[in-house]
Amino acid sequence: MASSILINSISPCSKYLRCNRNYCFSASAALKGAISFPVKCSSSSNLSCERSCRFGIVRASCAEEVVVDDHEIDDVERKVLRVGIICGGPSAERGISLNSARSVLDNIQGDDLHVSCYYIDSNLHAFAISTAQVYSNTPADFDFKLESLAQGFRSLSDFTEHLASSVDIVFPVIHGRFGEDGGIQELLERSNIPFVGTGSIQCQKAFDKYDASLELDRQGFVTVPNFLIQGNETDESGLSKWFEQNLLDIKSGKVVVKPTRAGSSIGVSVAYGVSDSLTKANRVISEGIDDKVLIEIFLEGGSEFTAIVLDVGSGFNCQPVVLLPTEVELQSHGTVDVSEKDAIFNYRRKYLPTRQVAYHTPPRFSMDVISKIREGASLLFQRLGLRDFARIDGWVLPPSTKASTSAGNKFGRTDSGTVIFTDINLISGMEQTSFLFQQASKVGFSHSNILRTIIQHACLRFPDLLSHNIISCPSRKRSKSSPVTEDFIKQHKKVYVIFGGDTSERQVSLMSGTNVWLNLRASDDLEVTPCLLAPAMSYTDVSDSATQKVDEKLKTVWTLPYSLLLRHTTEEVLDACLEAIEPNQAALTSHLRNQVMDDLTRGLRNHRWFNGFDISDELPKKFSLEQWVKLAKESQATVFIAVHGGIGEDGTLQSLLETEGVPYTGPGAMASKTCMDKVATSLALQHLTDFGVLTINKDVKKKEDLLKMSISDHWLDLKSKLHCDTLCVKPARDGCSTGVARLCCEGDLAFYVNALQDCLPRIPPNSLSKAHGMIEMPNPPPELLIFEPFVETDEIVVASKSRNENAHNLLWKGDSRWVEVTVGVVGKRGAMRSLTPSVTVKESGGILSLEEKFQGGTGINLTPPPPSIMSSAALERCKKRIELIANTLQLEGFSRIDAFVHADTGEVLIIEVNTVPGMTPSTVLIHQALSEQPPLYPQQFFRTLLDLASERSM
């Protein structure tokens, strides 16, 4: 094979040298020596016939498929496989779809596989997008400028014609409507384009929750009693009768309202009684989420689960194997508002890591229940005609519940409870810590291995694709059984990625650490170990700082095996560590793991492309922080710090590492300490006013003083000192995303102080006078709070064709001329360089929410700032001032600076400096690195930061 090229360096518009109905030459494939010449078809019918000729399939109808044993293909003929990832779509889950596409892209790329990326917008317009766009935080980042940045297609027919000649197989990762309802599948089938996953007809039946429920009932499974509401047909009397039949009070009976065709989490809510049910059902319809709504009995006392099913059979010989299921446990901590008492596993809980939900893999169910889940999910997969992989959700009900006792002889009954299957997900979420990867890693699959296995299995249905040179596990890293030689040690550099801690940002820290670990482990010369700085089991006030410093050394650090890291929260990771070393639980998990691996092996050993399992069953190891630092020194490791806030940013961890001479990422101890204290940061920069660097006036108050004095006195005092009517409050020595709120009146301050006093985990949306999203609160509450004037900026509206047919740009009045930006700085001390700033666009309330900062699929970042907002000259002046700030504060490695920038002068009004910025998959730093020339992709970017750490001067 010819040496590979960087596929990311080829833009969508230049990738294809010549393309028509009969021939297509891919520039990147040509350079790899992997051109696949189509056979010119004499038929004038359509592209489907041409596709048949390309695959050499002899058939009477283009709808038929021929199955070939992959053992029959000669290794000499194997070629590079061209995979087209399609994401986006019209559903509200298109942001999550982008996250899934990014994860698939990260984990399947290799010399044997060429990836092209495609996006379908909310109006079903298709585009070929660059891989850089896949790393955007949300489709809204680029929706409004697709026509100038991407290769658009005039119609879906043109799109499929392009696919037929440009890719070998499509991997659809569109969640919800058009992705899982058979829409994209039917489109691909019409043009005879191979794709991963279930066919269109089967998707249609399985995706519609009402139709799937009827089918499950016909197949003899226990189902949840439900009632269907369609369009404007409001059948109040029928619903009342249904309530009575199911012994539910028509005024207060508890039910779940869910769209039938909107995925597994959009528009789902709890309702009470007939009237409330109809109101919430009509809301789903009026908001355009779906025109069919299901009312289901609320499964009181049940436990929710989800299970990944993997087909390991040959061709159309379906052989589904269910991996280790996951139990979904909804949790509440501290004071709970009324709406949370009837919590369900909704969109926010599924995709934002907070302690509102915990996952248990394997589940805490009895063996007979786990066996019944695996058996039932396998049967469903077969009977519904699913293909390659799927995720099936359901509930386990105690034997005493009504649904259990009325189940009769239907499938699902066990002595320990009743298993009910409720949702079939044809395209499971594929974010880094999704159920797919959690469950796969438990039975020996890395991210890359499971995805490549799924793709290769799909190829079995198409004879021509069996000649492509893709292996399931391409990693050249040492396996567990390989000896550790002196040569191996010399060639492989140790890296410890540490994350977690006690701050309110510890869950985001887990996301950052996981992303860094996954990206760095792609380098064959690195041995990367993920390390959890364990969260405290309880919080105590420590007033003696000297005592606190001693205690820091006694904190616990766990070095983690692969499968224990892929969890929702740091608390889950810690629990998984404790379970892994508990003999009885470890024995049970090992037994279940071996059982599933045996089932997988029976099918996968028949495919010579399968290269084996690549995740070993290792135990976590526990150290004190002091011991761990010494271990890093002995291992000659470099530490990549991903601990947000607390000892990760206040200089403590940096000091411990410096004492032992261990290199680490990010600024030194003194710079970290200064930047962690927002007041100290302002003082260090206040002499730069003449250079266009401004600071915001601040007033610091103790929490105990806020609780003692009257709120009215505090409010008047703050307004007088800060000379403003609207304030911003934030913790003085915490991260940048929790406890930050806009206060417009005395009542807002009173509510915020009460939230601190009551230790609320979060302030619900719109609790304050100005509309806002959910505000996550620090836990424990901060002792010091900063109040400063709230800086007013003009609203930026992203205008898309869905809102205005003639609008393709940004709407910005620009009256104040100030915009909020965030910008990364990278380099050595004294020579820090500014990356391209990003304009941050808030959804509501003037304060960026935790989701908008860190959750992929939400929030909007405009990188670089559009010329309509900031001229190139002002942008350059801004970057110079950002570099001045970074070098004045003696930053090194990398950091992120948040500020307001004047759109005309480039003057910078500093907000704060984050020495351990968010490094999640959709972080703004990734966008900015991709804006560099040449672009720095995530693996290169994190490797650059690691190399800077190795070269740092102590």
Cis peptide before 864 (omega within 30 of 0): yes
187-210 per-residue burial string, b: 16 or more CB within 10 A, e: under 16: bbbbbbbbbbbbbbebbbbbbbbb
293 in any annotated domain: yes
pLDDT band at 262 (very low <50, low <70, confident <90, very high): confident
**pLDDT of the residue at 99:** 92
781 & 814 share domain? no
| More confident position, 108 or 75 | 108
Task: Give CA–CA dist 452/87, Å, rounded.
Answer: 18
pLDDT band at 44 (very low <50, low <70, confident <90, very high): very low
Task: Give CA–CA dist 938/438, Å, rounded.
Answer: 22
Among residues 830, 945, 818, 814, the alpha carbon closest in space to that of 884 is found at 830
Task: Give CA–CA dist 254/225, Å, rounded.
Answer: 13
pLDDT over 80 at 908, yes or no: yes
Predicted confidence (pLDDT) per residue in 590-638, tens digit: 999 999 999 999 999 999 889 899 998 889 999 999 999 999 999 999 9
- Please give the backbone phi and psi of residue 712, each rounded to the nearest 5 degrees, phi first: -60, -45
Least confident of 230-239, 512-521, 644-653: 230-239
Least confident of 219-233, 483-497, 525-539, 707-721: 483-497
132 in any annotated domain: yes
**pLDDT of the residue at 562:** 96
β partners of residue 381: none
In this prediction, residues 159-170 reach a mean pLDDT of 97
Among residues 876, 815, 877, 559, the alpha carbon closest in space to that of 691 is found at 877
Which two structure tokens, joined as six digits, stand for 854? Answer: 């860190």
Phi-psi region of 598 (alpha: psi -120 to 50; beta: other; left: phi over 0): alpha
Domain that holds residue 114: 81-197
Q: What is the pTM of this model?
A: 0.84
pLDDT over 90 at 858, yes or no: no
pLDDT band at 27 (very low <50, low <70, confident <90, very high): very low
pLDDT over 70 at 547, yes or no: no
Q: What are the start-end ranges of the E strands in 594-688? A: 621-624, 638-641
| More confident position, 332 or 339 | 332
Which two structure tokens, joined as six digits, stand for 162? Answer: 């392009």
573 & 623 share domain? yes
| More confident position, 886 or 489 | 886
882 & 898 share domain? yes
pLDDT over 50 at 798, yes or no: yes
Hey, is 391 helix, strand or coil?
Answer: strand
**pLDDT of the residue at 101:** 96
Q: Do 249 and 277 contact (CB within 8 A), yes or no? A: no
Least confident of 169-183, 259-273, 490-504, 596-610: 259-273
pLDDT band at 504 (very low <50, low <70, confident <90, very high): confident
508 & 630 share domain? yes
Q: What is the mean pLDDT of the chain?
A: 83
**pLDDT of the residue at 545:** 41
625 & 570 share domain? yes
Predicted confidence (pLDDT) per residue in 718-768, tens digit: 999 999 999 999 888 765 567 889 999 999 999 999 999 998 888 998 899
pLDDT band at 54 (very low <50, low <70, confident <90, very high): very low
Task: Give CA–CA dist 222/311, Å, rounded.
Answer: 24
780 in any annotated domain: yes
Q: Measured in whole angstroms, how far is the alpha carbon of residue 46 from the centre of its chain?
A: 39
373 & 278 share domain? yes
Q: Do 768 and 744 contact (CB within 8 A), yes or no? A: yes
Task: Give CA–CA dist 442/322, Å, rounded.
Answer: 12
27 in any annotated domain: no
662 & 718 share domain? no
Q: Do 384 and 206 contact (CB within 8 A), yes or no? A: yes
Task: Give CA–CA dist 535/545, Å, rounded.
Answer: 19
pLDDT over 80 at 568, yes or no: yes
375 & 274 share domain? yes
Task: Give CA–CA dist 12/531, Å, rounded.
Answer: 39
pLDDT over 70 at 462, yes or no: yes
688 & 703 share domain? no
710 & 830 share domain? no
571 & 503 share domain? yes
- CB-count exposure of residue 86 (10 Å: 0-12, 13-18, 19+): buried
Among residues 858, 847, 861, 644, the alpha carbon closest in space to that of 765 is found at 847
CATH code at position 262:
3.30.470.20
DSSP per-residue string spanning 475-497? --SPPTTS---HHHHHHSEEEEE
510 & 579 share domain? yes
933 in any annotated domain: no
Predicted confidence (pLDDT) per residue in 58-97, tens digit: 222 333 334 444 444 444 445 899 999 999 999 888 888 9
337 in any annotated domain: no
Among residues 614, 69, 489, the alpha carbon closest in space to that of 317 is found at 69
Task: Give CA–CA dist 493/490, Å, rounded.
Answer: 7
The neighbour count for residue 816, using CB atoms within 10 Å, is 13
454 in any annotated domain: no
Kind and range of the H or E run holding 104: helix 94-108
Pairing of strands 775-776, 254-259: unpaired
Pairing of strands 838-841, 741-743: unpaired
* C-alpha dihedral, 412 to 415 to 416 to 417, nearest 10°: 40
pLDDT over 80 at 124, yes or no: yes
pLDDT band at 539 (very low <50, low <70, confident <90, very high): very low
Q: Which of 789, 820, 837 is the last residue of a domain?
A: 789
Which two structure tokens, joined as six digits, stand for 264? Answer: 């597994």
Q: Which of 171, 197, 223 is the last residue of a domain?
A: 197
- Which three-class secondary structure string do you get for 407-439? CCCCECEECCEEEEEEEEECCCCCCCCCHHHHH
566 in any annotated domain: yes
Question: CA dist 923 to 364, 682, 719, 825, 901, Å?
Answer: 34, 25, 35, 14, 20
Least confident of 252-261, 348-357, 693-702, 935-944: 348-357
Task: Give CA–CA dist 51/424, Å, rounded.
Answer: 31
**pLDDT of the residue at 904:** 94
Q: Residues 266, 269, 275, CA angle at the centre, nearest 5°?
A: 130
Number of domains in the chain: 5
